């Protein structure tokens, strides 16, 4: 029961982190100091996607699932929880590059919006 709850907590934290990486740039407009947290998170998220690495939270969750007597899964967190819905065929390196590039572009736009100076008319 404890390991199951911890694995679920890891899923929640992992999903929250992914959402923050993807959309956190938009929070910077309202809370500019958020950039100090978001930029390293964005760099980590993009690095994971571009390099093909697996986030350390994924094996931690899988280990906790195994300790709880549940079956783990193969592949990464994105592949298991998100790509099943978005890309039923599975995760490829090309999809990882697209995901990483999308995250970077979305956040470039978010930061441009956040820090756009109002020009005098």
* pLDDT tens digits, one per residue of 3-33: 888 888 888 888 899 899 999 999 998 899 9
Whether 98 maps to a domain, the answer reads yes
SS3 37: helix
Residue whose entry in the numeric block shows the structure tokens 């490829």: 92
Whether 121 maps to a domain, the answer reads no
Whether 120 maps to a domain, the answer reads no
Q: Which two tokens stand for residue 21?
A: 């990486």
pTM of the model: 0.74
Whether 65 maps to a domain, the answer reads yes
Residues of the chain with pLDDT under 70: 72-90, 117-121
Q: Which of 118, 113, 116 is nearest to 23 (CA)?
A: 113
Q: Which two tokens stand for residue 20?
A: 């923050």
Whether 74 maps to a domain, the answer reads yes
Range of the domain at 72: 2-115
What total of structural domains would you count in the chain? Answer: 1
Q: How many CB atoms lie within 10 A of CB 83?
A: 20
């Amino acid at each position: 029961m404890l390991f199951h709850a911890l694995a679920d907590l890891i899923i929640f934290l992992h999903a929250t982190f992914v959402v923050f990486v993807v959309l956190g740039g938009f929070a910077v407009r309202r809370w500019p100091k958020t950039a100090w947290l978001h930029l390293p998170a964005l760099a980590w998220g993009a690095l994971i996607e571009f390099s093909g690495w697996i986030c350390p939270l994924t094996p931690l969750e899988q280990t906790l699932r195994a300790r709880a007597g549940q079956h783990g899964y193969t592949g990464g967190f994105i592949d298991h929880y998100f790509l099943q819905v978005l890309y039923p065929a599975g995760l490829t390196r090309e999809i990882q590059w697209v995901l990483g590039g999308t995250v970077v572009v979305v956040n470039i736009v978010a930061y441009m919006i956040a820090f756009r100076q109002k020009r005098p008319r």
